[in-house]
Amino acid sequence: MPVTAIDIYKKLPQTNCGRCGSPSCFVFATRVALRQEVIERCVSLEGDELKELKMLVGEIKPLTTGSGANAYAQAAEEIKNRIKDIDFKVSADGLAAEYLNEDDKEYLRLNLFNHKYKVSKTGDIVRDDGLQPSAWAKIFLIIYINARGKGSLKNEWISFGDLPNTFAKQKSFKDNSENVLIKNFAGKKEELKDACSLLAGIDAAAEFKCDLAHRFSALPKIPLLLLFWDENKEEDFPARVKILMDRTVLNFIDIESLVFLAERFAKELCEAKGIMVNTV
């Protein structure tokens, strides 16, 4: 299988520190995949990690798509053929997706946050409202289908740090999702509430002791729970955010993609209120 920006991104530190000159690890990975950048420019890599990435990068074939495409669009294009061999009919149940056969063409229909999408075996994706799906939406739909997850949810909320083998990614998870929400919504509970509604969040405040709680269906078997405690300046109490997930989440997505999903989730909430976050 050809090496793509996603493969490279998964092995980067995902701290979005910017010291390579790219605004995020994802953009850097895409530039490396396009041969516009060399892997050694990531100053956080050394030893075996760097060696492993150099080997991976050595396998990159020149891409056929236009190099002017933005990072997400490029990555979405690269991975779209990964689902061509998946048996949609067999996999639909495990993914909690709807199987469709129209004019002898097979599709899976599934949600990603507040929209439904129809995905073909060639990785072409149509959004239910007819609007063009975003490139990041395409990436997550393909990753989710390609993971072919199965099994039931445990309906037990846990934090990212409670998942196995996440120690090295905990800082990235916090910095790129929870801290982004703290930075942009501290003291703005009502705005965050509006943003949650726009992303089809379901109010769950009655079930949790916090100032705001919303449940989301990121993907059919990847629910997320957002908990928010607003700042109290008089008592010198800073705002806090927790993004929780079902204990089974790694049956449906790998750790690195989950970090990326949480990052996008935070950005979508910001962008729903017109706040532009400084990455791609």
CA pseudo-torsion sign 71, 72, 75, 76: negative
What DSSP character marks residue 91? H
Question: Closer to ligand SF4 at the Cβ: 90 or 168?
Answer: 168
3-state secondary structure of 51: helix
Q: How far is the CB of 55 from ligand SF4 (least distance, A)?
A: 17
Q: Which of 22, 74, 176, 248 is the binder for ligand SF4 (CB under 6 A)?
A: 22
Alpha helices in 96-220 (DSSP H): 135-147, 170-173, 179-185, 189-198
CA pseudo-torsion sign 139, 145, 147, 150: positive
Q: How long, in residues, is the chain?
A: 280
Q: How far does CA 7 lie from the centroid of its chain?
A: 14
Q: How far is the CB of 172 from ligand SF4 (least distance, A)?
A: 9
Q: Hey, what amino acid is at 135?
A: A
Per CB under 6 A, 195 contacts ligand SF4: no
Number of Cβ within 10 Å of residue 194's Cβ equals 14
Q: Is 116 left (phi over 0), alpha (psi -120 to 50) or beta?
A: beta
Q: Which of 3, 15, 197, 247 is the binder for ligand SF4 (CB under 6 A)?
A: 15
**Interface with ligand SF4: number of residues (CB under 6 A):** 14
Question: Closer to ligand SF4 at the Cβ: 60 or 210?
Answer: 60
Per CB under 6 A, 42 contacts ligand SF4: yes
Q: How far is the CB of 173 from ligand SF4 (least distance, A)?
A: 14
Stretch that binds ligand SF4, among 19-27, 61-69, 186-194, 198-206 (CB under 6 A): 19-27
Q: Which of 5, 20, 219, 225 is the binder for ligand SF4 (CB under 6 A)?
A: 20
Summarize as ranges the residues that interact with ligand SF4 (CB under 6 A): 12-13, 15-20, 22, 25, 28, 42-44
